[in-house]
Structure formats: C-alpha cells, structure tokens
Structure 1
Amino acid sequence: MTDQPLHEQDDSPATTAPSVGQDSGSESHQVAEKDRIPIGEKSAYAMGVVSDHFAQFGIQQFLLPFFNVVMGLSPAKVSLAMGFARLWDAINDPAVGSISDHWKSRYGRRRPFIFVGAILTGIVFPLIWLVPGGWSEGQMFAWLTVALIIYYTSYSLLSVPYESLGMELTQDYVEKTKLFTFRTYLMRIFDMGIWAMLPLATWIAALLADQQMALDAVQLAGEALEKQKEKLTEENLARTIPWVAVGAGVMIMISGVLPAFFCKERFAEVAQKQKGENPFKTVWSLLRNPPFMIVMGSIALYLLGLSSNAVLGFYVNTYYIEGGDVKSGAFLGLYHSLVGLIFGILGAFIIEILSKRIDKKPLIMGCVVVLFLSAASWWITYLPGRPYLTLVSRPFLTLAETGYWVLILSMRADVADWDELKNGRRREGMIAALGNWMIKLSITLATVIGGVMLQYFVGFDADLGGDQSPETLSLLRGTYIFTQMGTMVIVFFVLALYPLSRAKMAKVREELDARHAALEAEGGAEDEPGTA
C-alpha cells in the first residue's frame, strides 16, 4: 500500500486482491462502542428480512403452482407477465433509491419508505391470487401482469430503503458480518413459514377434497380414488392459496414496520448535507464501480441458478420424485426447509467464527465450491420413489448457502463505504436500488427461462399430471442439476476478481472518519472526492 490517498489508488482486482487466506489482526479486532449495534436494533433490522423474504419468495412459492397447475395458464405466459413487471422495476427501483437518498424529513431517509412499503406490500400480496373463476387465458394474463406491476411497485418502497438501511447501521468491518449473521438466524427461523405456505395450502385442499368425496359418496377404489382426490385437491388450491396469502400479507406488514420504528440511521445528517446528484449519473458511475459490479453480479448469477431451481424444484419433487402427488411433493419441499432451518442456523454460527480468522473473499469462494459439489451429488441422491434420499446433500448445501449470504451482504456494505470514498457521497439507496434491480432481473430471467424450458425444452404437460413421459422426467432432473452447477462455476470466477480486503477497508474507514469529522466541524456540504 502506498502513501497515496486511497481513493486515488488503482482499485483493479489485479493490484489489490489479497492472497487467499490473508488476514491482518482479525483475532485482536475490537468493535468500537460507536460502531456496535445494540441487540434490540439488530433484532428490529433482522425482522425486516422476514417481511422482505415473505414478499419476494412467497411469490415464487405460489406463482407457477397456482397460475399453471390450478388455473391452467401456460408457464410461458406466467413468465411473460413476470417479465413485464420486472421491466417496470428498471424504472421504479432506481427512482425509489434516488428519492430515498435525497429525502429530507425528521424521520430520516429510509424509515418512512419502509413503513409505507411494508403496509402496501402486505395489502397487495393476497389480491394477486383473487382471480375470478371462468376467465380466459388472456384475461388471467392481463390480471396477473397488472397485479404484479402494482405489487412490485409497493415492494420497491419496502426493499430498496430496507437494504439501504443495512449498509449504514455500522462502518465496522467485523460488525457488518455480525449484523448479517444475526439477521440470518432470524431469517432461517421465519423462512420456514415461507416454505410451509404451499404445503399448508395443499394440506387444507386435501382435507377439503376428503370431505367432498365423503359428501358425494364417491364409489371409487385404488388408483381411480387417488386420481379423483388429486384432481379435487388441485381444484381446492384455488380457494386455499388466497387464504394462506392473507396470512403472508399480515406477516409482511407486521415484520416490515419494525425497522422503521426501532432502527437508527447513522448517516442521515451527513447525507442531508450533500448536494443532489442526477440519478442517471449515479447509475452510470455505479456500473463503472468494479467492487459493486463484482458483488452484485455474483448475487444476480447466484440467484439465477437458485431461482431457476425454485421454478423447477416443485416439478422435480412432485413429478420426478413423487410420481405426480402434489401434496407429497409440496411436503418434500417442506422437509428440505426443516433441514435447512437447523443447518442454516449452524452455518451462520460457523461463518461468524471463521470470518474472524479468514478474510471474506477466500471464505465465500470456499462456500461456492461446496455449493457446486452439493448440486453435483444430486445425480445420485435424486431418484424416483426415494424422497428422503434427496435430503442427504441438504446439510452441506445449506451450510454453504448461509455462508454465502452472510458474507456477500457484508461485502456489499463494504462496497457502500468504498463508493463514498471514491465519489464523496452516501448512496446506499441507489446501491440497493440498482442491486435490487439486478437481483429482480435475475429472478425474472430465471422464472422466464424456467417456464420456457419447462414447456418447450422439458416438454412438461400439466394435463398429464403424474403420467409424464420418461424422457420428460429425465430432462426435468438434468435441467435442474446442470442449472445449479453451471451458475456456481461462473459465480466462483466472478468472486475471484473481488478487490477489497480487511486491510484495505481499514484504510477506507480511516479516511472516511477524517472526512466526516471535517464535515461536522465545517457544517457545510460534503467535499468532493479528492479534496478531503
């Protein structure tokens, strides 16, 4: 490291990346009192991710099972509706981020938006599934498209300021990891509610089917009886999913408002003294910021694989493993989540310990290697009629997955500090907005690609139920596995370019502290980069 100011040094990966495993004084690190986040504030912030996940992944739980399997809308049209909503996000997310960055109020820049966004998102979520019966495919497609655009507008008001808030709760390199580790503990516990949504809806639908068959005195036996029950269960999902969605909406509202009430915005005063910036200029500068693009590109690629599997996973569990039994397929997904709960909490604990000894970059790359190997093991653990064998790789997958998320979000917070040093302003809102849009684009592409592959490449036909051809089932499993393996390889090489280390972030912190002190003493607008 030279004596040149840090923001003027070359930040190319080739010149700044630390050697693998390199660390400096991590064991002796002490978090300063001003950087320590109180447990109550950590808890309130962590509960915000419960709202965010119910809003984001609740859609994935229901979208294709409801609109394709239950309502009969083709996977391609479901995916196209989602695609239109994501195109709107290309405008909506940066607008919310820019407005939030420059918002001036007695309640701060983030908290008013989080409060309003949580309420609106919780209200709109159940409305998506209230499709009137007897509608044509065109009418259902129009309903879904408009509903998703309204929904994601509300969700942006919640998610962009919430993720921005997490980047400004502390500047300490280690405390950032502790914050997102703590968030992961609560996230893993409450995520069970998300993965239980579809099994709960199918269980209630199956109970209703039993009652209907008893009332109608159905005189069937054996396979015919089972097929009749499966048919009635699918039909009843049109009634049970909207009711379960109401519960999800309530959870989105309750957990979402907690960060608005109990979290403190550390840089609100500093940010309100800075001059405004053209949002297009901000977007352009972030797209030319290597650490930002590496971190967010990694997340987007990771979610491309994960979300593609979320689209295909229901079909793999239900039709490849369970032979078309919708209820058993949904519950197999729940069993995976139960294992994920246990090992997710354990994984967060292990990562917090390891992060004190190993720097973030080599540690997260190790997590990606484990994710790749776990996906490869599915060739021998995903077999028809053997649902519990699929759980063998789940502990390793969850340990690595948890480590990835704890570390990548901590790295994103580092990028926000690095960006302030390079550009002279706090821009967490635009960082979160542009990052969220990249994430949503990735999830949308996964939904579109998954739906198109399911219909045109795999050749899945919902009308055939459990009678899919052997070729279709083989393609379904192969697509599921190769998608995950391929994206993990790309993510590994992207992360290899990440340039920020513990030592480099210590220098960033030193220069930012000096800049903030000078700003507070002068009481004026923040200096432009290079003048501190």
Structure 2
Amino acid sequence: MPQDAPTAAPRGTTPPPVPLATRVAFGFGAVANGIKDNGFNYFLLLFYSQVVGLDARLVGVAIFVALLCDAISDPVVGTWSDNTRTRWGRRHPFMYAAALPLAISFWFLWNPPLGWSQTALFWYLLLLAVTIRTFMTFFEVPSSALTPELTQDYDQRSGLIALRYYFGWTGGNFMTVLSFGVIFPAFATAAIADGRFNPEAYSVYGLIGALLIFLSVMVCAAGTHSRIPQLMPPPPSRPGGLVRIIREVRETLGTRSFGALFIATIFGAIATGLAASLAFYLNIFFWRFSSEQIAMLTFGVFVSAILGGILAPAIGRRFGKRRGAILAGLVAFLGAPLPIVLRLLGILPSAAEAPWVFWVVALATIVDVGLIIAFQILATAMMADLVEQAELRTGRRSEGTFFAAISFIRKAVTGIGVTAASLVLGAAGLEAGLDPGQVPESVSLRLGAVYVPVILSLWMTMIAILSLYRLERADHEANLAALAARRRAP
C-alpha cells in the first residue's frame, strides 16, 4: 500500500519534470479503459446477440440506457474529485476504490447465465453495464484529470496524452488479437466449428480482461502516488451547495473553445459507437475475413498506436494542436471507408474471392487508425489547455470538471451510435445467429452501402465544428504568464 502523501505544494508552484516511470505508469492506466472499450464497442453486441441469443435491438437498448445512467456519474465524480480533501489528494482515493469492483463486474459481464429469458438477460446485461461504466468513471475521470496537473508545458501535455492513448489502444487491441489469434481458435469444437460463437471462449476473454484491468488501475494509481505533493490542492470550501456547484460548472465551461470541443465530441462519439460496433460485422460478413485474418488485421493496430503516438506530438509542434487535429482527422476519416466504397463500386472483390484484398484492407487500416489516434491525442490535449484559461477567468482549478464533461458526452451519445449500429444491421437484413457462409452477397453489400454515408456525414460534421476552437500555443503561454503574475501579486 502506498505511503501517506505529504501536504500538497502551494498553489501556483510549477510542477517538477515528470520522471519516465511516472509517465509510463500514468499512460498504462489507459489499458483498463482500452480493454473495457474494446469489449463494449467490438464484442458486446456480437456476443450477446449472436452467441447468447439476446435480440440485437434489446442489446442496443441496454447499452444505450447504461450509457445514459453512467453519463450522470461523470459530472458528479469530476466535480467531487475537484473538491475532495484527503491525505491522498483529490484524485487517488477514487482511483484506488475503483480497481476491484471494476474487475469483478467485467468478468461477470462475459459469463451470463445461459437459458434465461430475453427479459432476464436484458436486465442482467443492463445492470452489469451500468456497474462497469460507473466504476470506470471513478477511475478514468480523476486519472485523466491528472494530465494538466502533471505538466503545464504545451507540447509535453501532448506527449503525456500520447502515452495514454498508446497504452489504451494497445491494451484493447491486445485483447482482440488474443481473442482471434488464440482464444477463439482454441474453442473451435465439433459442435461449434467457429470459436467466435462458443460462449466458453468469452468466459476466458472476461477473466484475462478482468485481471489486466485490475493491474492497470493499480499501476496507474500507485505509480503516480508520489506526485500528490506537487498536484494542485482543492479550492477553499464555499457555501451554496448544489446551486453553487451548477453555477461554477457553467462559469468554468462557458467558452467558445470548450463549446466547439463539446459539440464536436457529440458527433465524434456517435460515429465512434457506430464504427466500433460494426467493425467486426464488416470484417466477418462484408469482407468475409477468417478469425486468423481478423487477428492479423487487428495486430496491425499495434503499429497504428506507435504511428499515432509519434505523429501527434510532431504534428502539434509543426501546426499547433487545432490545425494539426483537423489535418490528421480529414485524411483519416475520408480514407477509413475508402476500401468499402471501392468494393461497392466493384473495384475490390471480397477476401473470399481474392485473398490479396486482405492486405489492401490491412495497410489502409494501419495508416487510418494511426491518423485517428493522432487526431484523438491532439483533441484531448486541446481540452487540457482549457484548464488554465478557465482558472484565469474563474480563479478555480477544475480539471475534473473539464474531463468529466467530455467523458459525459462521449458516454451519453456513444450509445446512440451503438443503437444505430443495431438498426443498420436490421436494415441490411442480417439476422441473429447466421453463419457468415449463410449471408447472401446482397446483404453484405447493403451493410456497406448504409454504413459509409452515415459514418462520413458524422465525421465531417465533427471536423467542421472543431475548427471553431480558438486556443493556440501563444494563447496558452499568455495564460500561464498571466496566472504566474497573479500568483506573485501580494
């Protein structure tokens, strides 16, 4: 157990350089959310609808309702952690408390009772989805709020967030590669020839994921514990209760730049939920990839994570975060659905007809996902830079409030994307329980034809709104200088 932390440094003290071990521990914390997102975005709809037998529409509704319930916890935890006073600082008590219940509930999610009615399975899924997302909020919001406290430097923040995204993507991607490359093939039996549809495979997936989630949370909390004395202390206690909290949140977030990020995140979260939920459906039913091919395709995301982590800081230094994010986003989001469009036009066949198509899709995926990761890193760093702007206006440090606001909207509207994915499956005529070989070509093509225009319209709207963000490097440095002068004033 970590030792008690000394008293926090006086407000305004410039944080010392962050040691490499601390940076790695901070980044490794994203493995937990990466595994959770991997499971919820990629496997949950497939598992509960195609393996367990729960109607896909009920799965979509359960995920959507759970997201709405969970979204309520984000602003609560964000504001709570901003104002918490303990010997372990503002953030760490929440992080430590989340580890065990988060891991246990994740395991139960992938071990539902078989033979239950549709109604019972729906409530089982809903209860566990709410539990997991709530405890993830207790970890993710406070730990993400550490970013602007660990360093004030414009470029170093991008580097910290790059580590966070690298571990988040590689952690989630590790589970996908492990599943398609090892777990699913190992559970292919005479009765269930394709291990992707064997419920026992998902029990193993849940156990490994739960253990890694627990390890990730504890490494992040313990590895950043020594920085507690250098973190910002909570503001003085103020009277006013709920009315005061609501007023302060409105004051903190009431800027054009935050509004642009907030609304852009709405469209981005819907697109992410839609794309993630249909990713394996497209790979299995549209491209006709085998489990081994999907494992290889997903393995390429490890390369993408490295590519994105390298590109984001470089692009930010060269173009600034806003322009860099827009540039990376335009290339990534226009290129991502291009292979699907080429197949719809008859230029690319399916992988079953021409094995070389797999390598075209794999290369395109590596580059596009790398650019998407770079975009996400820069957009998150843009949020971190708003903290000092708000402190200059309000006199309060509100890191938790900022990161909770974005987490809130991502969770609230990603459910719309997941629900939309279930509607797309229905529109394409893809029925539950079908083997890929039983799906007609017309259904596969209809799936791609519906998906492409919807996802493109969401992504391009997000980029257009993001362009309204106005905080650049010079503005951030001016804010730091103004805050330093204010703190030196008698």
Q: Residue deviations 1:434-476, cap 9 Å, x none?
A: 2111011222111111112212x22211244232233321221
CA distance in 1, matches of 2:473, 2:454: 33
Q: Secondary structure at the match of 1:183?
A: helix
- Counterpart position of 1:229: 193
CA distance in structure 2 between the partners assigned to 1:255 and 1:458 by the alignment: 39
Shift of residue 63 of structure 1?
A: 0.7
Match of 2:74 among 77, 93, 96: 93
CA distance in 2, matches of 1:196, 1:282: 45
Paired position in structure 1 for 2:301: 340
Residues 331 and 307 of structure 1: CA distance in aligned 2, closer, same or farther (over 3 Å) = farther
Residue 526 of structure 1 corresponds to: none
Distance 1:479 1:375 in 2: 15
- What is the rounded CA distance, in whole Å, between the counterparts of 1:464 and 1:177 in structure 2? 44
State the match for 1:298 in structure 2. Answer: 264
Q: Which is greater in Rg?
A: 1
* TM-score of the pair, normalised by structure 1: 0.81
Q: 1:44 to 1:156 in 2, by over 3 A?
A: same
| 2:149 partner amino acid | E
Q: Assess, with a 3 A threshold, how the Cα gap between structure 1 residues 81 and 34 changes in structure 2: closer, same or farther.
A: closer
Which piece of structure 1 moves more, 393-402 or 443-452? 393-402
Instruction: Report the counterpart of residue 101 of structure 2 in structure 1.
Output: 120
2:55 is aligned, of 48, 58, 74, to 74
| Conserved? CA contact 1:416–1:427, under 8 Å | yes
Aligned partners of 2:72, 2:434: CA distance in 1, in Å?
A: 40
- Aligned residue number for residue 432 of structure 2: 462
Aligned ranges 1:24-423 → 2 under 5 Å = 34=15, 36-199=17-180, 200-206=182-188, 209=189, 212=190, 229-230=193-194, 233=195, 237-263=198-224, 264-265=227-228, 268-273=231-236, 275=238, 278-286=244-252, 288-322=254-288, 328=290, 330-378=291-339, 379-380=341-342, 383-384=349-350, 385=352, 386-423=357-394
Query: Match for 2:364: what amino acid?
Result: S
Q: Is 1:443–2:418 an aligned residue pair?
A: no
CA distance in 1, matches of 2:31, 2:41: 15
TM-aligned CA distance change 1:421 to 1:267, over 3 Å: farther
Alignment partners' CA distance in 2, 1:281 and 1:465: 54
Q: Equivalent residues in 2 for 1:485-496 (5 A)?
A: 485-496=456-467
**Aligned partners of 2:304, 2:406: CA distance in 1, in Å?**
28
Give the stretch that moved more between structures: 308-317 or 353-362.
353-362
Q: 2: CA distance between counterparts of 1:45 and 1:77?
A: 37
Number of the residue aligned with 2:395: 424
- How many Å apart are 1:376 and its aligned residue? 4.4
2: distance between equivalents of 1:302 and 1:274? Answer: 36
SS in 2 for 1:168: helix
The 2-side partners of 1:502 and 1:146 are apart by 44
Percent identity, aligned pairs only, is 23
Aligned residues of 1:121 and 1:151 also touching (Cα < 8 A): yes
User: How many angstroms apart in 2 are the aligned matches of 1:262 and 1:464?
Assistant: 46
Structure 1 residue 89: deviation in Å? 1.9
1:115 CA drift (Å): 1.2
1: CA distance, partners of 2:46 / 2:174: 17
Secondary structure of the residue that 2:114 maps to in structure 1?
Answer: coil
Q: What letter matches 1:102 in structure 2?
A: N
| In 2: Cα distance, 1:174 partner to 1:234 partner | 43
The corresponding residue for 1:11 is none
Q: Could you report, residue by residue, the CA deviation over 1:75-121 in whole angstroms, capped at 9, with x for unpaired residues?
A: 11001111221221232222111211111001000011011112221
Instruction: Indicate if the aligned counterparts of 1:50 and 1:187 stay in contact, CA closer than 8 A.
Output: yes
C-alpha distance after superposition, 1:395-436 (max 9, x if no partner): 330231121022111111001221222222111112122211
| 1:244-274 deviation digits (Å, cap 9, x = unpaired) | 2111111111111222222224775542436
In the TM superposition, what is the alpha-carbon distance from 1:158 to its structure 2 partner?
A: 1.0
User: Contact conserved, 1:375 with 1:481, CA < 8 A, in 2?
Assistant: no
Aligned to 1:482: 453
Structure 2's unaligned 5+ residue stretches are: 1-12
Structure 1 position 310, deviation (Å): 1.3
The CA deviation at 1:313 is 1.4
Residues 1:499 and 2:470 are matched in the alignment = yes
Q: Taking structure 1 as reference, are residues 229 and 260 closer, same or farther at Cα in structure 2, changes over 3 Å only?
A: closer
Distance 1:189 1:145 in 2: 27
Match of 2:5 in 1: none
**Aligned with residue 511 of structure 1, among 443, 466, 482:** 482
Q: How many residues align?
A: 461
Q: Kindly provide the CA deviation profile for residues 273-318 of structure 1, in whole angstroms up to 9, marking residues without a partner as x.
A: 3646733224433553322222233333223222211111111111
- Once the 2 structures are TM-superposed, how far is the Cα of residue 505 of structure 1 from its aligned partner? 0.8
Give the AA of the match of 1:370: V
Whether the 8 Å CA contact 2:96–2:218 is kept in 1: the answer is yes
Contact 1:50 1:191 in 2 (8 A): yes
Distance in 1 (CA, whole Å) between partners of 2:253 and 2:446 is 37
TM-score (norm 2): 0.88
Distance 1:140 1:366 in 2: 44
Taking the aligned partners of 2:308 and 2:67, their CA distance within structure 1 comes to 32
CA contact (8 A) 1:418 1:508 kept: yes
Q: CA RMSD in A?
A: 2.3
Q: Is residue 258–residue 383 contact of structure 2 (8 Å, CA) maintained in 1?
A: yes
> Contact (CA 8 Å) 1:168, 1:413: kept in 2 or not?
no
Greater CA deviation, 146-155 or 353-362? Answer: 353-362
